[in-house]
Amino acid sequence: MVAVLVASTAQSLAAAGPQPATIQERARGAERIVVASISDIRAAYEHNAYGDELIVSHASLALEEVIKGNSEKATVAVEGGTVDGVTLRVSTFPTLSRGERAVFFLKRGPSGEYVPHLNGQGILKLDATNHVKGSSLSLDDIRRMALADAR
C-alpha cells in the first residue's frame, strides 16, 4: 500500500511539471535585467543550433530602466513570430508585440544576440499598473528580489 502511495505521489509531481524559476534564480543567471518596451519587431526564417528552420522575432527594446548590467541598446531574439502570413507560436515563449512593456532577463545567445534567460521565463510582461500581467507581482517586487543577492 505504501509503495503504491509513493509511486502515485511521484507520478503526480512529475505530471505537474517543473516549477517556474524564482525571480532571484532568473536574476542570478541573467547578464542584464531591463525594463523596456518593444519599439520595433521583425521576424525572419532562421536555422537554430540543431539545423531546424524556424521563425525568430527580433525585438528592439526601448530601455526605461536598467536593473542589472549595462545600458547599451538591446535587441532580443525570441523563437516565434509571423513571416509572409505564416505564424509560429512556441509554447516556451510569449508572443511579442510592438508597444508591450516587460521586464527582460537577458543573456547572450550563441550568435551573440541577447535572448531571454530561461526562455519565456525571462520575459515578464507588465500591465498599466506595473504588475506582471495576470499576477499580483509588481515591478517594485521584481526590483527588490532581483537586487537581493547584490547586497
Query: What is the spatial distance between Cα 82 and Cα 3, in angstroms, rounded to a whole number?
Result: 50
pTM: 0.86
Q: Say if CB 79 and CB 55 are below 8 A apart.
A: yes
Q: What percent of the chain has pLDDT over 90?
A: 79
Q: For residue 72, what is its C-alpha cell?
A: 547599451
Residue 51 phi/psi, 5° resolution? 90, 5
Residue 8: what pLDDT? 45
Closest by CA position to 137, among listed 39, 61, 59, 26? 26
**pLDDT (tens digit per residue) in 71-127:** 999 999 999 999 999 999 999 999 999 999 999 999 998 888 999 999 999 999 999
Residue 126 phi/psi, 5° resolution? -105, 145
